[in-house]
Amino acid sequence: MCGRFAITLPPDAMAQLFEARPDNDLPDVPNYNVCPTDPVHVIRAEDGARRLVAMRWGLVPRWYKAPNDGPPLFNARAETVAEKPAFREAARARRCLIPASGFYEWTKDETGARLPWYIRAKDGAPLAFAGLWQDWTRDGESLRSCTIVTCAAAGEITAIHHRMPVIVARADWAKWLGEAGHGAATLMRPAPEGSLVLHRVGSAVNSNRAAGPDLIAPNSA
């Protein structure tokens, strides 16, 4: 799964990297502790162009009576997105990219205490998570939300967790966004072995209220 991540890239740099036109109401950055239900940066294709927009992290299906009518669907399993009613239409027609600088996962020590880890690209480049998005409208209220697609972990990630976000390589962005024909399903796989690095960080990030660059600083304790 992917339940927390960090984004430090300024919006203008994101727009340039993804060749997208930025909206004006984008979330503040840097944010070292992005949590489910927070607004996040999303790249989607629209009328032959890319846009950098804000969406709620935690997909809200159309049949929810309110955004909190069910659990926040912040992850979608790659193995079942084509079948699950909440995701299957979006998997065909509403795919997006969600930029991140890195993400967190947790292990437990012998006492059951949660030990956080920070994972990022080995070369320091931003990550692009595979995402799906959805419009929700009810009684005059509307919301645009998204979810991060996950797959079975591979390589170095297996030492700490059995799942990981699908990370789309730059060469495949157009295919995932639907700009370059079919075959997006083939991209729902783990990142190449050796492309990610990870280190232990302090327990402060266990709180969804924690903030600041110290959250991603190495901590061997």
So which residues are the catalytic ones? 2, 105
Nearest to 132 by CA among 149, 155, 115: 149
- 39, 35, 37: which is closest to 25 by C-alpha? 39
Tokens of 179: 């700009």
Cβ neighbours of residue 159 closer than 8 Å, sequence gap 6 or more: none
Centre a 10 Å sphere on the Cβ of residue 57 and count the other Cβ atoms it contains.
27
The DSSP code for 205 is G
Please name which of 116, 120, 103, 125 lies closest in space to residue 57, comparing C-alpha atoms.
103
